[in-house]
Chains A and B, each alone.
Chain A
Amino acid sequence: MNLLDVRNLSIELLTNNKPILAVDKVSLTIKEGEVRGLVGESGSGKSLLAQAIMGVLDEKWHVDADRFHWRGNDLMRLSAEERKSIISNDVAMIFQEPMACLDPTATIGEQLEEAVDQQQFEGFFWKKRQQRKLEAINLLHKVGIKNHIQCLKSYPHQLTEALCQRVMIAMALAKKPLLLIADEPTAAMESTNQGQIFRLLASLNQLKNMSILLISHDLENVTHWTNTITVMYSGQFVEAGTTDQIFKQPFHPYTRALIDSSPTANIHIPTKSRLMTLPGSIPVLQHLPIGCRLGPRCPRAQRECVNSPKAKNHQGHQVSCHFSLKGSY
């Protein structure tokens, strides 16, 4: 069953002049127990999309969707407040900038204990307090922080970025969510520890059937852990499919370029030589190209590309491009 089903979600930035369409009709489904990767260049609106799902965008942004279903319930019919309370009950998010999201004036211990779900405990309040403390320590151990005594009494600024990120993960897990949205959960860590966090998330996915939306700018980093992948570019939907479909036979020129530019994929070329890459950079919101936004950088672009392509579905492999690479395999 679809846990989350979002169709054509758009996010507009309200400005003094015309509103800017930062996210342009992106669709996203997450099944129960699925790990979905959300991949795209930095600035492609991944965090915006995640924040829109969580309902935490401020009033500068206007969110609209053709469909927003959560566990079969149509959330579009509810007010923003009601929607947010349902979502925040079942969904937890690990935000991208952990330092900025932790409260600098409270210790990690205080913040973590506050995040722990109260209802699971029984007994008198001193007993509950004891249990809460144990649970907080337990969570820290889970995310691989062994020295919990030191960590619990530290303030966020006393910890490294990577440790803060782990604390954020512990706080997200404290709620025992059905869906975890992890926005670059391991960005500050190096590979041995990245593996550790991904393994933890994978085991929660297996044992607790927790669904995960894994957001990353780096395709190669997440492929090992995901069942399905959605690719975005500059606020537009690019391609979605199983990890194998995306990695072995990408239909979209952008996905193809992503895979070709990976340094680990280019292991056979001489060191210090130039790497393959798309020219140019992702457009700024104020100057978005019309039609397909990849147009100015796309090696296959033709005149038709000034009209936005519609997503086409080929046996669960969706692609949004007028001249997809489907025929070339």
Chain B
Amino acid sequence: MTDLLEVTNISKAYKLPSRWFKKRYIHALEPISFQIQAHKTLAIVGETGSGKSTLAKLLVGAETTTTGEIKLNGQSLHQGNFKQRCQHIRMIFQDSGTTLNPSLTIQQLLDEPLCLNTDLNEEERVQLIRETLHKVGLLAEHMNFYPHMFSGGQKQRVSLARAIILKPQVVILDEALGALDPSLRSQMINLLLDLQQQMGLAYILIGHNLGIVRHFSDDIIVLCQGQVVEQGKTLNVLNKPKHKYTKKLIMSQQYQLIHR
């Protein structure tokens, strides 16, 4: 089976404003490699600033890679080829509330990717928007709302709708589940799992909640300050963590369970 997404040694260094003639860099992400197959979920966990969002931005092409290569279906992705990429790899951002354009209605927001990437006529687009809103637990009447009329968690659902409306192959969830409330979150996990089964989606789950990570993912990468400290099958890593950083991460969530 060929890998859906194959990532070899990609890294990212941000350039800081230079002092005199010396260039200064932040190595946000050290070289990292992994593969994902269809139907699989890769989880990426790590502390703040460990480079998780940077990795996500590199994959969707929102930032250029410093080194390394990304292959989708065996084809190498070039920096410039944005259109191909944004159809097949979609991302839901961490602070999705602020990435929704406040001057557009939900319908216009969802219409945008459809207009750019498909040949559907208006009726079909509206129908698809209606279905997608329904899939993420919103109502058709929400179409005419503006983002500011939603609460934080509701905005997240709009972003999910926008991500899956193009039927992509890879969806990157950057803390997308963290802002959802529990009953909706389990609905969403059920929904994401259903979509994965139906459409063969691969997910990259960037998240804090190890409960979700354990339930949802097949493989896991633990990042610490841009470096991979542990990589493997989720259950192996979470049940028998080798690195003390991973242990600390797991310990820090134990307290949430004490009460039960």
Contact = CB atoms under 8 A, between A and B. Distances in A.
Interface string B135-152: 001110110000000111
A274 B45 CA distance: 23
B249 interface: yes
B94 A188 contact: yes
A218 B253 contact: no
Contacts of A217: 153, 179-182
A160 interface: yes
Contacts of A309: none
Given A41-B153, A97-B152, A190-B48, A276 B186 contact: yes
A271 B215 contact: yes
A263 B48 CA distance: 22
Interface string B188-219: 01100100000000000001111110111000
Contacts of B209: 191, 263-264
A100 B147 CA distance: 14
Contact of B48 (A47, A189, A221, A284): A189
B183 A41 contact: yes
5 contacts: A97-B97, A257-B183, A261-B186, A263-B186, A266-B215
Nearest to B213: A263
B86 to A, nearest CB: 23
A118 B47 CA distance: 35
Contacts of B137: 280-281
B183 A223 contact: no
Nearest to B45: A190
Given A41-B184, A190-B207, A224-B259, 17 more contacts: A188-B178, A190-B45, A194-B252, A195-B252, A217-B179, A220-B182, A247-B259, A258-B183, A263-B186, A263-B215, A264-B211, A265-B260, A266-B215, A275-B215, A281-B137, A281-B187, A287-B141
B184 to A, nearest CB: 7
Contacts of B256: 220-221, 223-224, 264
A162 B46 CA distance: 13
